[in-house]
Amino acid sequence: MKITLIQGDITQIKVDAIVNAANSSLLGGGGVDGAIHRAGGPAILEECRRIRDRQGRCATGEAVITTAGKLPAKYVIHTVGPVWNKGNDEEKRLLRNAYINSLLLAVKHGVETIAFPNISTGVYHFPKPIAAEIAVAAVKEFLAQDNRITNLVFVCHEKENYDIYSELLSRN
């Protein structure tokens, strides 16, 4: 298994699937969600709307998959991270679910390479070091049990997250 760390814009990454830190409406927003919809074009939102019509809102910790429109990736996996609210085990469990459910959906669609943003660490205010520990532990556990993902990229937009991940990933 291979985990790569980069600092940059996830919309530019050429992988089978990029993950979006969406909200449960699935109808777009700011942050990485806004960037993905802007760069990918209207096809992504159209498919999100069809999913909404079919199955309703996306619960926190769950994930859905759409086309990536004009992006270099083939798919966007939209997952909903938890909003940080002083911190309790539920929030941590839900953040872990967001990573695991994204990966489960990815392998179901034959995805071999996938890029994640730092889910919940923007508008949703999850403390960055705690979110990073959960993310790294979740994906390592998943990749150790399932060899269908050949490359997983953590894409950090800001240096602060990049440095946190860099330190965490260098530990083992």
**Residue 126 CB contacts under 8 Å (≥ 6 apart), including other chains:** 81, 82, 84, 91, 95, 119, 120
106-115 per-residue burial string, b: 16 or more CB within 10 A, e: under 16: beeeebebbb
Dist. CA 12–CA 18, nearest whole Å: 10
Residue 63 engages ligand AR6 in binding (rule: CB under 6 A): no
Residue 129 engages ligand AR6 in binding (rule: CB under 6 A): no
Set 9, 16, 33, 89: catalytic member: 33
Smallest distance from the beta carbon of 26 to ligand AR6, in angstroms?
Answer: 9
Three-state SS at 154:
strand
Three-state SS at 86:
coil
- Interface stretch with ligand AR6, choices 61-69, 99-107, 118-126, 136-144 (CB under 6 A): 118-126
Three-state SS at 124:
coil
Active site includes 163?
no
- Interface stretch with ligand AR6, choices 46-54, 58-66, 102-110, 152-160 (CB under 6 A): 152-160
Smallest distance from the beta carbon of 163 to ligand AR6, in angstroms?
Answer: 13
In the bound state with ligand AR6, the residue whose beta carbon lies nearer, of 31 and 112, is 31
Residue 21 engages ligand AR6 in binding (rule: CB under 6 A): yes
Dist. CA 77–CA 86, nearest whole Å: 27
Contact residues: ligand AR6, CB under 6 A: 9-11, 21-23, 29-33, 35, 81, 117-124, 155, 157-158, 161
Active site residues: 33
